Amino acid sequence: MSFDTIVSILDSTIRLGTPLLLACLAGLFSERSGIFDIGLEGKMLVAAFFSAAVAYVTGNAWLGLLAGIASSMVFAFIHGLASITFRGNQLISGVAINMLASGITVLIGQHWFHLGGITPALSGGARFQDVALPFAQALKGVPYLGLVYDQLISGHSVLVYVGFLCVPATWWVLFKTRFGLRLRAVGENPAAVDTAGVSVVALRYSAIAIAGILCGIAGTYLSCSLAAGFGREMTAGRGYIALAALIFAKWRPWYALGATMLFGLLDAVSNRYQTIDIGMLHIPNQFMSAVPFILTVVILAGFVGKAIPPRAGGEPYVKER
Amino acid sequence: MSCITKFLGAGAVLAFTAGVAAAEPAIIYDLGGKYDKSFNEAAWHGAQRWAKESGKKFREVEIQSEAQREQVLKRLAQSGANPIAMTGFAFADVLNKVAPEFPKTKFAIVDSVVKQPNVQSIVFTEEQGSYLVGIMAAMASKTGTVGFIGGMDIPLIHKFECGYAQGVKSVNAKDKVIVNYTGTTPAAWNDPVKGSELAKGQISQGADVIYAAAGGTGVGVLQAAADGKILSIGVDSDQNYLHPGQVLTSMTKRVDNAIYNVFKAGANLKPGVKVMDLKAGGVAPAMDKYNAKLVTPAMKAAVDKATKGIEDGSIKVHDYTTDNKCPVE
């Protein structure tokens, strides 16, 4: 395996891992505040659709991003209404969000564009173009480092950089601010937070709003940057993988980066080496494409140690009986 | 698949049980969806053409999940639709079961052979068309490396791959063909994000012409190729217009003609196997104004020569599905 190959696989890892990372951080905010969020998938899907639709109509990817974030936040708010205000079951509400997103995107898509639920292909300014970082061209000639800088670090969509910046930002918000302290506390012991005179409901709503924004970016990245337009069910289970990564990461931001990039790497490797011949042994494509999932099970079962979720997760907060 | 799509499916089933007088022809699209810009869309165009010419109507269903195949097929047959066409090999097992139950209804299946007295099986010689686009790919490639991205990993798509590889090697035996498949389930027909990721991977390995035989997934492949400023080759429908000047050609499979003929024959559809080969105009590389600048006279001459050779039998293109083996790697 040459150095070029390794760089190109890592490059692919970043592209495949970024939507997982954003969704994983969204789940992190939500679950740290005590709201389980199965609906990551649905929020990403609806954001992917509305961002592509608006980007196509306006020809502007940034307006698409705004629309994606807005639609994802609407869905997050529905989830909040059901599970915070009306104290419904958070898992059921999340599943409902996913179903609603899956149906409504195709329905509206067919109504607007008459293309069977997909949006027309985006081009030019309607898509996030790859950003070339400064000196990428100049440094190209430098052995190893030049290649890494040019291929791996430079030349991604701006949303990728946003995603990576979200990791330290999340860490800072969660562990270095008063808001973060309260957010974590409300996921562990909402009664204590309430006693201290801080509104549990407001904290939880703000957490799911942040989750909505992050899912919105993730969905927009899928449809307006990775692909050029929305396709039916285009999230393809990434929301659930992000949830698995969240458990793997034990609800911590830096671990989330590692976990999602590991999933991205597994995906990239299975894309690159679809069949492997080791002497007499021929490993078929079917096995290689299952490897990420097999490893997921193995890693989750054996290597993470004990992953303890936020203690108040999944329980609606009742102030007085 | 969600509840909502199931409701939609159920709604569609109800809709065509309601009041049908004359025998209308019907078509069922496979999971790639009616607007896959490829295989199913070609079928739709054929049906449209028939409707326009005859002034009659046809019925159509897009299935949403594997489980709907049999249900939709039975419902259409019960409601009196005749003939019923379906696109895709995946219908073969179901049709084999359902066809004997409706001996008076005629069925047509594209891409598979079902031996029943009331079924017309339409098969294409994809290996021949792929051979021709392989020649073009090898001549257009500057790096000596070309790519192939298939949809679902099944023998039918290996037939495309094998014909393509033979075409490439006929021009330059040393050329490398990088092969990727999108997946092993029918979802692989409709995953443009993965398609574009696979294409980017092939580009980084030096491929400068990529042939996508992957239904709706191919849209992503063509997009990634256009983004990466290399050439791509479309499939089934003429996809040259998707990225003018960046799609070298498309291996058109005239599914539209096949469906048009089925609908035109109506209830008199002849059962048996119908082979749409190069001679019959079943497969061909697409040449139009969008790729005119990419096709050099030498390329054109080579394709014409190979076409003649295949038609008169002097060039034999191996069909992967006959022995599940490809003579070239």
| Same domain? B55 vs B182 | no
Indicate if the alpha-carbon torsion angle B91, B93, B94, B95 is positive or negative. positive
Q: What is the pTM of this model?
A: 0.84
* Residues B233, B85 within the same domain: no
* B80 and B132 share one domain: no
Angle among Cα A177, A183, A184 to the nearest 5 degrees reads 95
- Within a domain: B10: no
Which residues are CB-neighbours of A287 under 8 A, at least 6 positions away? none
For A268-320, the pLDDT digits (tens) are 888 887 766 666 677 777 787 777 778 778 877 777 677 788 888 888 888 87
* pLDDT at position B19: 43
Q: Quick one: closest CA in B to A127, which residue?
A: B227
In a domain, B15, yes or no: no
Which chain A residues touch B180 with a CB distance below 8 Å? 271, 274
Residue B3 inside a domain? The answer is: no
Q: Which residues of A touch B242 (CB under 8 A)?
A: 121
β-pairing verdict for B84-87 and B26-29: parallel
The answer to whether residue B72 is domain-embedded is: yes
**Strand-pair category, A276-278 with A281-283:** antiparallel
Contact B135, B308 (CB under 8 A): no
CB pairs under 8 A between A and B: 88
B270 lies in which domain range?
Answer: 22-125+256-276
Residue B25 has pLDDT above 90, yes or no: yes
Quote the CA–CA distance of A222 and A233 in Å, as a whole number: 11
Which residue carries 């058109």 as its tokens? Answer: B252
Together in a domain, B265 and B246: no
Cβ–Cβ below 8 Å for B153 and A285: yes
User: Do both B68 and B135 map to the same domain?
Assistant: no
Clarify whether residues B144 and B49 are in a common domain: no
Please return the burial class of A28, using the count of CB atoms within 10 Å of its CB with bins 0-12, 13-18 and 19+: buried
B95 with B56, same domain: the answer is yes
Query: pLDDT of chain A along its 321 residues, tens only?
Result: 678 888 888 999 999 999 999 999 999 999 999 999 999 999 999 999 999 999 999 999 999 999 999 999 999 999 999 999 999 999 999 999 999 999 999 999 989 998 878 888 888 888 998 888 887 777 777 778 887 888 788 889 999 999 999 999 999 999 999 999 999 999 999 999 999 999 999 999 999 999 999 999 999 999 999 888 898 888 888 899 899 899 888 899 999 999 999 989 988 888 887 766 666 677 777 787 777 778 778 877 777 677 788 888 888 888 876
d(CA A263, CA A13): 8
Q: Min CA distance, A223 vs chain B (Å)?
A: 8
Distance spanning both ends of chain A, measured CA to CA: 64
The answer on B236 and B192 residing in a single domain is yes
ipTM associated with this complex: 0.81
What is the total count of domains within chain B? 2
Q: Does the CB of B232 have a partner CB in chain A at under 8 Å?
A: no
Which residues touch A36 (CB under 8 Å, ≥6 apart)?
Answer: A30, A90, A91, A94, A313, A314
For residue B242, give how far its alpha carbon lies from the nearest alpha carbon of chain A (Å). 9
Residues B168 and B53 in one domain: no
Residue indicated by tokens 């092939």: B202
Do B261 and B220 share a structural domain? no
Nearest neighbour of B201 by CB, restricted to A106, A234, A271: A271
Chain B hits for A103, CB-CB cut-off 8 Å, are 2-5, 8
Q: Are strands B272-276 and A130-131 parallel, antiparallel or unpaired?
A: unpaired
B154/B207 Cα distance (integer angstroms): 23
Q: Which of residues 254-313 of A touch B (CB under 8 A)?
A: 268, 271-272, 274, 285-286, 289
Whether residue B207 is contained in a domain is answered as: yes
CA-based nearest residue in chain A for residue B32: A232
**B228 → chain A, closest CA residue:** A130
Mean confidence (pLDDT) of chain B: 89
Q: Do A274 and B219 touch (CB under 8 A)?
A: no
- CA–CA separation, B242 vs B208, rounded Å? 18
Number of helices followed by number of strands (H, E) in chain B: 11, 12
> What is B102-155 written as a DSSP string?
-TTS-EEEESS----TTEEEEEE-HHHHHHHHHHHHHHH-SSSEEEEEEEE-SH
Residue B111 lies in a domain: yes
Among A99, A116, A228, beta carbon nearest to B3: A99
Residue B206 CA to residue A116 CA, distance in Å, equals: 35
**Residue B12 within any structural domain of the chain:** no
Residue of A114, A271, A282, A293 for testing the chain B interface, max B β-carbons within 10 Å: A271
CB-based contact (8 Å) between B180 and chain A? yes
B188 and B306 housed in the same domain: yes
For residue A310, say if its preceding peptide bond is cis, omega within 30 degrees of 0: no
For residue B236, pLDDT beyond 70: yes
Domain presence at residue B290: yes
Nearest chain B residue to A103 by CA distance is: B4
Each residue's pLDDT tens digit, B38-83: 889 899 999 999 999 999 999 999 888 888 999 999 999 999 898 9
Spatial separation of the C-alpha atoms in residues B191 and B182, rounded to whole Å: 8
For chain A, helix (H) and strand (E) counts, in that order, are 12, 4
A59-71 as b/e, with b when 16 or more CB fall inside 10 Å?
eebbebbbbbbbb
Segment B254-296, tens digit of pLDDT: 999 999 999 999 888 999 999 999 988 899 999 999 999 999 9
- Burial B220-249, CB ≥16 within 10 A → b, else e: bbbbbbbbbebbbbbbbbbbbbbbeebbbb
Residues B299 and B191 in one domain: yes
CATH assignment at residue B161: 3.40.50.2300
